[in-house]
């Protein structure tokens, strides 16, 4: 069943299987799938004895006896009693590192994991994607196996909360390519990464060239360019998804790019508000291969961010069953570039449950077993699948490096499908050109009492006149709040304090203005001045509203004059209303607002009251 004369692609042409201790196939360029060379045995066909490969021959590896199996469960131990009970939550897709093989295995359904190992010492350690709000107990598990055929279970790992943290995140994956006059599917995935139960809403704002058709979850608000969805009692570590379908117009061209954006609330009080939003640009294509790989950022990343270890690369592996029958199993293999650091791997989302094996430190094997993926003739929208992950480059990369990546997709026992190859370059030279140039070392911002402190440093400034410090409440609409003159050719360190930040999120950037009149914009940094969210509620109505929005304050005690601000679905301030709140209820005139989704925020000191509504 395939192979090659030089023996390097021994498993090139058959699907990976290693059930019942028999190994066959794969898309590995060596024998790494086989646990140990002593388990190999020759297969004789006529006068040929493998592994001398060529023509139509077989290559099998078989374990002499049973391997050892290590098993356990990963879960959040909320009551810290040392056992899985009560409201404890199983954790999927947490990576377990095994030494001395230096392989990774992911926990799967109900948090269970298992690792096949050889004899000798073993060490199991939860890998880097452990959430920062939990401590791991125990830190690792180890032992020694003198023989094969052993099965050791209850090697559990507990994640114990270190405090009360709110943290929800959201992302969007485009399932099929965008074409004019057809349908496009998106998958929204959202997750509770914190330590408490979460409830709220999320919404999508999409291009007017997209027309909403269907969604798995019922929308609580539907508008021409946006959708609103409610979520209730999202448990810690729980992920949910929502598949949506849109139609596209026939006038789209290859030059068009449509965008869709998601935001999940509440943002106030969230420990990482930057992952409460996700934006996706979708280029228009013609005829295409549905099995593909995409990468974000799309072309290049800053060399400085890579060297600092702050830049992730996001890969999405997409596949579709275009055959004439259901695919029982799908396996996707991804040989990572040596420029990527496997220890920074983070699993983000997927269309179906999977189990991940990491082989030889750079070969990812996503196993969608019993996926039962229907073919595109039976049900085109359900014939797609994907998996998404993020990983950082090594901090030793250079400007001349390029990260290449593709993957191989196995549908049952068919030949592998090889996807397109994506490339990631590094930009911003270490030695800048002689004109209109600034070499940034760093640009950071942090909160100090009620101020935002911005700090940046450079080691080269050519033809620089000054820096403008700009601020935005929504990362889109910036105003200049200060200015700093340049320090000269060798650059230096700068500090600026914003003594009047807005309530909520403050986004900052630098506008570098040169003597030539040219200017450039820096990266955006964020400081959270969100007041403490108060659970004590107020009510609004009617929903949907028309010309007036009625506010019922209930037991909330506010001063005679307070500010009630209204924001649109993109987070932009549309009404800044100073209302008299002597009475427990009052009206706000919203007749100037167009139809859509909005939310009102009443701020009192360090407390904020927030509600969403539609018109």
- 91 with 176, same domain: the answer is no
Q: Is the domain of 507 the same as that of 572?
A: no
Spatial distance between the Cα atoms of 300 and 306, rounded to a whole number of angstroms = 11
Domain end, chosen from 256, 288, 320, is at 288
CATH code of the domain containing 265: 2.60.40.1510
How much of the chain exceeds pLDDT 70, in percent?
81
pLDDT of residue 129: 56
Per-residue pLDDT, 105: 86
461 in Cβ contact with 441 (< 8 Å): no
pLDDT given for residue 381 in this prediction: 84
> Whole-angstrom Cα distance, residue 559 to residue 469?
34
What gap in Å lies between CA 174 and CA 177, rounded to an integer? 7
The yes-or-no verdict on residue 312 having pLDDT over 60 is: yes
Q: Please check whether residues 447 and 507 belong to one and the same domain.
A: yes
Q: Give the chain's domain count.
A: 6
Please check whether residue 495 lies inside any domain of the structure: yes
Two structure tokens written together for 171: 């992302």
247 within some domain: yes
The answer to whether position 397 is within a domain reads yes
Assessment of whether the complete model's pTM goes beyond 0.75: no
Give 45 or 262, the one with higher predicted confidence: 262
User: What is the average per-residue pLDDT within 278-301?
Assistant: 79
Binning pLDDT at 50, 70 and 90, where does residue 51 land? very low
384-439 pLDDT per residue, tens: 999 999 999 999 998 889 999 999 999 988 888 999 899 999 887 544 444 677 88
Averaged pLDDT of the chain: 80
pLDDT at residue 36 in the model: 35
- pLDDT, average across residues 89-115: 87
- Location of structure tokens 């499908």: 417
Domain boundary among 428, 446, 471: 428
Calpha distance 96→106 (Å, rounded): 6
Helix (H, G, I), strand (E, B) or coil at 91: coil
Q: Give me the phi and psi of 382, to 5 degrees please.
A: -90, 0
- Dig out the tokens for 512 from the structure: 């570098």
pLDDT tens digits along 116-161: 888 899 999 987 555 678 889 999 999 898 888 888 988 999 999 8
Higher pLDDT, 84 or 64: 84
- 8 Å CB contact between 180 and 253: yes
Nearest to 77 by CA among 237, 239, 298: 237
List, for residues 353-369, the tens digit of each pLDDT value. Answer: 998 888 776 889 999 99
Full residue range of the structural domain in which residue 553 is found: 532-614
Same-domain status, 516 and 559: no
Domain boundary among 129, 161, 193: 161
- Whether the ω angle into residue 379 lies within 30 degrees of 0, i.e. cis, is no
- The CATH number of residue 604's host domain is 2.60.40.3080
Compute φ and ψ for 544, nearest 5 degrees: -75, 150
On whether both 57 and 83 belong to a single domain, the answer is: no
Average pLDDT over residues 204-231: 89
Query: Minimum mean pLDDT among 28-42, 486-500, 538-552, 570-584: which range?
Result: 28-42
169 and 259 inside one domain: yes
Cα angle 173, 174, 176 (rounded to 5 degrees) comes to: 145
Same domain assignment for residues 306 and 199: no
- Residue 3 within a domain: no
The β-bridge partners of 261 are: 205, 279
The answer on pLDDT for 45 being more than 60 is no
| Cα torsion through 460, 465, 467, 470, rounded to 10 | -140
Q: Which two tokens stand for residue 332?
A: 């996707």
Residues 173/186, Cβ–Cβ less than 8 Å: yes
Q: Up-side HSE of residue 377: CA atoms within 13 Å toward CB? A: 6
Region 523-544: what's the mean pLDDT? 76
Phi, psi angle pair for 529, to nearest 5°: -110, 35
Q: Is residue 25 over pLDDT 70?
A: no
Contact assessment for residue 409 and residue 319, using Cβ atoms and an 8 Å cutoff: yes
Q: Are residues 262 and 180 in the same domain?
A: yes
| Residue 53: predicted pLDDT | 36
Sorting pLDDT into bands at 50, 70 and 90, what band is 63?
very low
* Total Cβ atoms within 10 A of residue 153: 12
One domain, residues 485 and 468: yes
Residue 466 lies in a domain: yes
State yes or no: pLDDT of 459 exceeds 70.
Answer: yes
**What proportion of the chain, given as a percentage, has pLDDT over 90?**
28
Res 2 pLDDT > 80: no
Predicted pLDDT at 435: 63
Confidence of residue 552 (pLDDT cuts 50, 70, 90): confident
The answer on 536 and 469 residing in a single domain is: no
* Same domain (yes/no): 409, 297: yes
Q: What share of the chain is helix, strand, coil (3-state, %, to 5)?
A: 5, 50, 45
Residue 5 lies in a domain: no
Instruction: Label residue 232 by pLDDT band (50, 70, 90).
Output: very high
Residue 548 tokens read as 């007036």
- Rounded distance between C-alpha atoms, residue 237 and residue 110, angstroms: 11
Predicted pLDDT at 388: 92
Say if residue 320 is in the same domain as residue 397.
yes
Which residues partner with 204 through β-bridges?
227, 262
3-state secondary structure 128-189: CCCCCCEEEECCCEEEEECCCCCEECCCCEEEEECCCCCCEEEEEEECCCECCCCEEEEEEE
């Amino acid at each position: 069943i395939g192979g090659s004369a030089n023996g390097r692609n021994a498993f090139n042409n058959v699907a990976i299987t290693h059930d019942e201790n028999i190994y066959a196939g794969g898309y590995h360029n060596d024998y790494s799938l086989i646990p140990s060379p002593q388990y190999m045995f020759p297969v004789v066909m006529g006068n040929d004895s493998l592994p001398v490969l060529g023509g139509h021959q077989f290559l099998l590896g078989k374990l002499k006896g049973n391997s050892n199996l290590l098993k356990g469960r990963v879960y959040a131990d909320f009551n810290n009693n040392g056992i899985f009970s009560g409201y404890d939550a199983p954790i999927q897709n947490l990576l377990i590192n095994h030494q001395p093989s230096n392989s990774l295995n992911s926990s799967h359904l109900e948090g269970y994991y298992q690792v096949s190992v050889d004899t000798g010492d073993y060490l199991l350690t939860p890998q880097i994607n452990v959430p920062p709000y939990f401590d791991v107990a125990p830190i690792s598990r180890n032992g020694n196996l003198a023989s094969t055929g052993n099965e050791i279970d209850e090697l559990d790992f507990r994640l114990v909360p270190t405090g009360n943290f709110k943290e929800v995140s959201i992302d969007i994956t485009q399932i099929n390519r965008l074409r004019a006059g057809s349908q496009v599917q998106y998958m929204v995935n959202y997750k509770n990464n914190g330590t408490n139960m979460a409830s709220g809403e999320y919404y999508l704002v999409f291009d007017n060239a997209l027309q909403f058709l269907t969604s798995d979850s019922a929308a609580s608000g539907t508008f021409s360019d946006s959708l609103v969805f409610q979520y209730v009692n999202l448990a810690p570590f729980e992920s949910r998804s929502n598949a949506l379908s849109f139609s596209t117009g026939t006038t789209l061209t290859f030059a068009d790019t449509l965008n869709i954006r998601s935001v999940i609330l509440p943002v106030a009080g969230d420990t990482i508000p930057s992952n409460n939003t996700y934006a996706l640009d979708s280029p228009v294509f013609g005829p295409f291969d549905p099995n593909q790989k995409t990468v974000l950022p799309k072309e290049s990343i800053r060399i400085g961010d890579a060297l600092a270890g702050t830049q992730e690369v996001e890969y999405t592996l997409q596949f579709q069953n275009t055959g004439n029958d259901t695919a029982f199993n799908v396996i996707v293999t991804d040989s990572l570039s040596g420029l990527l650091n496997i220890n920074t791997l983070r699993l983000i989302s997927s269309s179906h449950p999977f189990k991940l094996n990491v082989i030889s430190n750079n070969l990812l094997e996503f196993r969608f077993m019993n996926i039962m993926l229907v073919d595109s003739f039976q049900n085109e929208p359900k014939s797609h699948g994907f998996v998404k992950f993020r990983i950082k480059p090594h901090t030793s990369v250079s400007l001349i490096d390029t990260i290449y990546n593709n993957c191989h997709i196995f549908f049952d026992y068919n030949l592998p499908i090889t996807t397109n190859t994506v490339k990631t370059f590094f930009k911003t030279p270490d030695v800048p050109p002689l004109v209109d140039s600034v070499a940034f070392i760093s640009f950071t911002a942090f909160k100090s009492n009620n101020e935002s402190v911005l700090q940046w440093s450079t080691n080269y400034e050519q033809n620089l006149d000054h820096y403008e410090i700009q601020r935005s409440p929504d990362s889109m609409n910036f105003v200049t709040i200060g200015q700093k003159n340049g320090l000269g050719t060798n650059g230096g360190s700068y500090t600026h304090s914003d003594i009047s930040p807005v309530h909520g999120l403050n986004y900052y950037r630098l506008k570098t203005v040169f003597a030539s009149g040219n200017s450039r914009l820096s990266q955006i940094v964020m400081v959270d001045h969100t007041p403490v969210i108060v659970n004590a509620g107020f009510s609004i109505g009617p929903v949907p509203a028309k010309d007036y929005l009625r506010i019922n304050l209930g037991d909330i005690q506010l001063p005679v004059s307070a500010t009630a601000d209204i924001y649109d679905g993109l987070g932009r301030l549309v009404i800044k209303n100073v209302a008299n709140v002597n009475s427990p209820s009052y009206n706000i005139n919203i007749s100037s607002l167009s139809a859509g989704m909005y939310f009102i925020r009443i701020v009192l000191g360090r407390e904020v009251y927030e509600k969403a509504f539609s018109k």
